[in-house]
Each structure stands twice: as C-alpha cells, then as structure tokens.
Structure 1
Amino acid sequence: MPRKTTGAIDMSDGVSDLAGQARRLGLAGDFAAGHALIDQAERLAGDDPTARALCAIERGRLYNSAGEREKARPLFEEAWQLARQAGAHALAVDAAHMMAIVGTLGDAVQWTEAALAYIDDHPQAAFWRAALLNNLGWSYFDAGRFADALAIRTGGRTAPLGWPETRAAYRALRRDPNVARTGSPGRSPAAC
C-alpha cells in the first residue's frame, strides 16, 4: 500500500514513481509501455483514493497524448472525485485542469472556474492558478476569441504570470494589428 502524507502520496512511493515514469513514456509516445506501468501502479494503489486518483489522471494523460480524448475524459473526472475525497487538493485541481484541456471551449471555461473556486477554498493548491489561466487564455486563442484571450492575461482574475514566454507572447499579440483584422498573428489581411 502507498504511504500517505496528509492526502498526498510521498514522491518516493512506488505509485508515484510508476506514474511519473508512465507520464515520461507518454510524452515520448510510448503509450503501451506507459499503460503497462499504470497497470502496475493501480495494483499498488489498492483502495487508497489519492493513489487511485494519481493513476487515473496519468492514464488519462496517456490517452490524451495519444489523441484519445474520449477515453481520457472519464479518467480525469474520476481523478477529480477521488482527489477531492482524499483531500489531495493539488491533484484535484490538476484533474480539473485536464478536464478543461480535453473538452470544448465551454468545458475549458467551466472547469477552469471550478478549479479556481476550489483553489479559493483550498489555497495550498494556489500554485495552479497561473497555469489554469494560461491554459484558458490559449483555449480562447485557439477558438479565435483573441480579445477574450488577451483579457485573461490583462484583466479579470489576475495571477502571477511566472512564464516569460507567455508574457512575451501576449505582449506580441497585443502589439500585432493583424490579429484584430485577420484572426492570426503575423498574417496580413491580403493573405486571408
């Protein structure tokens, strides 16, 4: 059984180690090997809700990275429920963050708001705030809603930007007059 420390799995724990290895394999495109490691982690996790949440979120990430969002979504929902049950607040917010990524723009807005509300009640997960807002901004950007994307970074809820690349990208976006006219940075209206 995994060791618990106040609702979180100790990073030296076998479940965490296997889940981390599975994530790295998924990022490298070796999804079958990643799933095999999550199978092992699930056996170690037993009934521990934090360990089970970690397994669910990492298996979901494997499916998402493989382009299988419909298989990923229920795993992220399961991780959201289990992590909240266990009081693993950062893991719960991570699960909500992944739900925002695999869904529609409407889902991204809904899950980001749910995660931000959860953070308001559980400030130990506040380090997620900037990533949530960054991802929501990019969801708006990808949907062609550039004013909404920019508003996430400049108004409404604010968060420490933390990532120089993100700040630079949004500064460039704000300065690029083609975005407002064409929907794409750097494209002239004649190219559309």
Structure 2
Amino acid sequence: MDKITELFDALEHLFSNTKDTQAKLIALKETWSTPTELALLLPQIARTYGLLSDFENGHKLVSEAEQLLHQIPDSNLKTIIIVRISLERGRLYRSSGKKAESIPFFQDAWDKSLGVEGADYFLVDAGHMMALVMEREQRLNWYEKSIAAAEKSTDKKARGWLGALYNNSAWDEHDLGNYQKALELFQKGLDFRISNNDSQRTINIAKWSVARAQRSLGRYQEALEIQEELANHPNDGYVFEELLELYSALDQKEKVQTVAKKAYELLSKDDWFVKNEAARFEKIKTLALGS
C-alpha cells in the first residue's frame, strides 16, 4: 500500500471520530520516519488538532512539516506535500475564525495543484475551501471551477467531491432565486449519489433537495410525489415540513394538520432547528396545535 493510500485509510473516520483518527495518525509516526513521510503525515495530524480546536498545536505541526521540505527532492509527491501544508494551514486559520488569513493558503494550494499528476483530489479540495471562504458571487465561481475539475478528473476520490459541490452550489443558486439552475444542480447531485452507490440516507437528502427546488418553481405535484415517497422513512421532520407546504399550496387542507403534527413532533427534538429556524418552527407549531 502506498503512503497516500494508507493516509486516506487512516482518515476514513476523521469527522465522525476525530480523536480516534488522531491516535491512528500519531501511531503511524512509529513507522513513518523519512522526511518525505513525516512531511506527508504531520499536516494531517494538524488537521485533527484543528477539528478539536487546538489551533496552536496544529500550526506547530504544519510548521514542522514545512521545515522538512528542504530535505525532500523535487517531485510530484513533494508538490503534493506542499499543497497539503497550504491546505491545512488554511483550514487552521479558517477554523479559528481567521478567514481572511486562510485565503492565500487555499489559493496557493489550488495554484500549485493545477496540472500536477496525482493532485486532482487536492485541487478540488482547495477549490472547495476557496468557495467556503468567499462571498457568494466569488463562491459560485469557485464552485464552478471545482465542479469542472472534478468532472474532468479520472481520479475516483477527486470525483467524490461532486456530491457536495453540486449540493452547495445549488443552495447558493436557490438562495439567489435561481431556482431552475438550482434544480439542475440538485438533479446532478442526485444522479451522482445514485451512481456512486452512496448511502440511502444521502440519496434521500438529495431527492428532498430536488423536490424543494421543484416547489420553488411551482412544480408542486412533482415535488409531492417525491416527498410522499420519502415519508415512507418516517423519522425525517423536514420531509413532513415540506409535505405541509405542498398540501397547503395544493389546497389539500384536510392533510395539513396531520403532517404538521408529525413535523412538529420530530422537529421539536431538533435543537438546531428550533434555535436557528424560529419562524419556520413557530409556523409548524401553530398549524400542528391549531392555535
């Protein structure tokens, strides 16, 4: 197994179990001892520190990796290491609330990845990070560039970014009122999720998003067919909220309170929704309780 593949395997549960991932990466230091290996490994350990909000130690590890670069001969792998260093330095700044400081590092990672064999995954990663730190107009441009790079790539891991990229850019288009463009992107995302054999939950979210854009376009019956299908998975309050909106739009008043009650039952347990979507939650509550 080559080192990059071994590293990807160790990062498999990075977000769901960061501490365990950190321990696995630190354990690799026992057998990864050359300057090249350590420079490849240290930025990824730094990433786990960033996810755990230990930014000081994260930056220290990135700096250690930088200091090893002069010992590494020029090659595609060295370029990839430099790119990873920039990516993780940028992520540490962004995660600590220093968005402006992160931008030059993500831009550097993008620029240095262009045209480098084996760097497609990191190119798309860099473009995705640029999109996350930019204002909306520039963000959409970066999503377009990142999508184009991922679609062009033959690297399965690079193409694996497409689901997130289609979804994120679609929501930006939707927020701008570009509902047809949003629908096209959501549909691409759904098609990708299915062809990529993603989890049923991920596919269901993609279907929900397609239906949400259809509702915004006034295509209520098409949206209803999707949401009623998704209601067969009865623990998703967002599906029942959409059914509430669709039955209301189609003047099917006899069904509104029933789905409102189900939406209220489920979403009242969602602390994020109650706190951040107060107006939506209050509407659901009013319809559910008939007050």
TM over 0.5: yes
RMSD, aligned CA: 3.7
Give the gaps of 5 or more residues in structure 2.
Answer: 8-31, 210-226, 228-237, 250-276, 287-291
Partner of 1:167: 204
1:67 alignment partner, SS class: coil
1:127 is the counterpart of 2:222: no
1:188 alignment partner, SS class: helix
Partner of 1:106: 137
1:33 is the counterpart of 2:64: no
Residues 21/146 of structure 1: CA separation in 2 closer, same or farther (3 Å cut): farther
Per-residue CA deviations over 1:138-190 (Å, capped at 9, x if unaligned) read 5457x575947962664356421635257346463644529xx9996544299
Shift of 1:105: 1.7
1:21 is the counterpart of 2:49: no
1:177 is the counterpart of 2:245: yes
Distance 1:102 1:184 in 2: 28
Distance 2:123 2:134 in 1: 17
Distance 1:147 1:187 in 2: 26
Larger radius of gyration: 2
Distance 1:112 1:98 in 2: 10
Partner of 1:80: 110
Residues 184/112 of structure 1: CA separation in 2 closer, same or farther (3 Å cut): farther
What TM-score do the two structures reach when normalised by structure 2? 0.53
Per-residue CA deviations over 1:12-44 (Å, capped at 9, x if unaligned) read 521232111111101111111100000011122
Distance 1:21 1:32 in 2: 13
Instruction: Answer yes or no: is the 8 Å Cα contact 2:162–2:192 preserved in 1.
Output: yes
Per-residue CA deviations over 1:24-69 (Å, capped at 9, x if unaligned) read 1011111111000000111223462211110000000001101111
Shift of 1:119: 2.0
Distance 1:186 1:166 in 2: 25
Instruction: Answer yes or no: is the 8 Å Cα contact 1:105–1:140 preserved in 2.
Output: no
1:136 is the counterpart of 2:169: yes
What TM-score do the two structures reach when normalised by structure 1? 0.76
1:86 alignment partner, SS class: coil
Distance 1:190 1:41 in 2: 53
Instruction: Answer yes or no: is the 8 Å Cα contact 1:53–1:78 preserved in 2.
Output: yes
Aligned residues with identical type, % of pairs: 25
Instruction: Answer yes or no: is the 8 Å Cα contact 2:93–2:101 preserved in 1.
Output: yes
The one-letter code of the counterpart of 2:283 is: S
Distance 2:6 2:68 in 1: 14
Shift of 1:118: 1.3
Name which structure has the greater RCO, CA cutoff 8 Å, separation 6+.
Answer: 1
Partner of 2:67: 43
1:110 alignment partner, SS class: helix
Distance 2:282 2:131 in 1: 29
Distance 1:30 1:159 in 2: 35
**Equivalent residue pairs, number:** 184
1:115 is the counterpart of 2:146: yes
Map residues 143-162 of structure 1 onto 2, 5 A cutoff. 143=175, 147=179, 151=183, 154-155=186-187, 158-160=191-193, 162=198
Residues 185/138 of structure 1: CA separation in 2 closer, same or farther (3 Å cut): farther
Distance 1:134 1:21 in 2: 28
